[in-house]
């Protein structure tokens, strides 16, 4: 199976449709699939639902799709740093489903493992629990959360081999692997593609069985919050 594509637009060809559900990796602006997000913007696909830890910033990440009104709903755990997100949500233009970070990551992982639902204590007694099934285990109350099954997963990795085995770097490893697992089709953008067999099997973070298409590109790697101190 040939998994390597020349660019983001080619990798997305035939997969996009209005109203689709996309799982996106990344944490803040770290490890986000910026090339694929830009290609989705250019394609004009609309009424999108995104499951992602956050929604980027106003002019980067998923934020560029909010600017063009291509996103209908966000399933996220953090939505700060984005004035356009706040404006659309407060005006009723954007739907929002809040998830605790661990719950969101586990919902993605569960979907990737074919698990339709699981119970967690996180959120019990809060608005997160409203309308959800409650069950007691050993005298403790839990709520049921559903696994995420997305139409498409878009992720960013550091290295891939030609079969799609992936290595992530540092913070980019958190939401990218579970996001990759839960899509019917997974596209990954990487900084480097190496020959099959050149990666140490013990260093692979996500096996290529989850990856369908790969692109290599240059990445901006923008810093979300830069803090400096005056020169002495």
Going from N- to C-terminal start, the domains of the chain cover 8-216
Q: What is the pLDDT of residues 146-192, one digit of tens each?
A: 999 999 999 999 999 999 999 999 989 999 999 999 999 999 999 99
* Whether residue 144 has pLDDT greater than 80: yes
pLDDT confidence of residue 58: 87
Its pTM stands at 0.93
Residue showing tokens 């199976």: 1
Selected from 3.40.1080.10, 1.20.1260.10, 3.65.10.10, 3.40.20.10, the CATH number assigned to the domain covering 8-216 reads 3.40.1080.10
CB atoms within 10 A of CB 170: 10
Name the E strands within 162-221: 166-167, 183-194, 213-216
Among residues 196, 201, 205, which one has the least CA distance to residue 169? 205
Q: Which of the four pLDDT bands, split at 50, 70 and 90, describes residue 227?
A: confident
Q: Which residue has the higher pLDDT, 159 or 82?
A: 159
pLDDT confidence of residue 78: 87
Half-sphere exposure for 16 (CA within 13 Å, toward CB): 21
The percent of residues in the chain predicted with pLDDT above 70, rounded, is 100
Distance CA(134)–CA(152), nearest Å, equals 30
Run of H or E including 42: helix 34-43
Distance CA(184)–CA(195), nearest Å, equals 25
Q: What is the pLDDT of residues 108-135, one digit of tens each?
A: 999 999 999 999 999 999 999 999 999 9
Burial of residue 122, with CB atoms counted within 10 A of its CB: 0-12 exposed, 13-18 middle, 19 or more buried: middle
pLDDT confidence of residue 59: 87
* Whether residue 1 has pLDDT greater than 80: no
């Amino acid at each position: 199976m040939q998994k390597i594509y020349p660019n983001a637009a080619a990798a997305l060809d035939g997969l996009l449709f209005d109203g689709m559900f996309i799982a996106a990796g990344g944490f803040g602006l770290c490890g986000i699939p910026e090339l694929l997000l830009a290609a989705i913007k250019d394609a004009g696909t609309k009424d999108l639902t995104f499951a992602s830890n956050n929604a980027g910033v106003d002019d980067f990440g998923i934020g560029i799709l909010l600017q063009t009104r291509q996103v209908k709903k966000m399933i996220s755990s953090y939505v700060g740093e984005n004035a356009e997100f706040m404006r659309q949500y407060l005006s009723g233009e954007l739907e929002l489903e809040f998830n605790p970070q661990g719950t969101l990551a586990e919902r993605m992982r569960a979907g990737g493992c074919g698990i339709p639902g699981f119970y967690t204590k996180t959120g019990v007694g809060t608005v997160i629990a409203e309308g959800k099934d409650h069950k007691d285990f050993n005298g403790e109350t839990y709520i049921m959360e559903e696994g995420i099954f997305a139409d498409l997963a878009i992720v960013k990795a550091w290295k891939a081999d030609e079969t799609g085995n992936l290595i992530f770097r540092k913070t980019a490893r958190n939401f990218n692997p579970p996001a990759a697992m839960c899509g019917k089709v997974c596209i990954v953008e990487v900084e480097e593609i190496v020959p099959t067999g050149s990666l140490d099997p013990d260093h692979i973070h996500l096996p290529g069985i989850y990856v369908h298409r790969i692109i290599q590109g240059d990445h901006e790697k923008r810093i979300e919050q830069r803090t400096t101190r005056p020169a002495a």
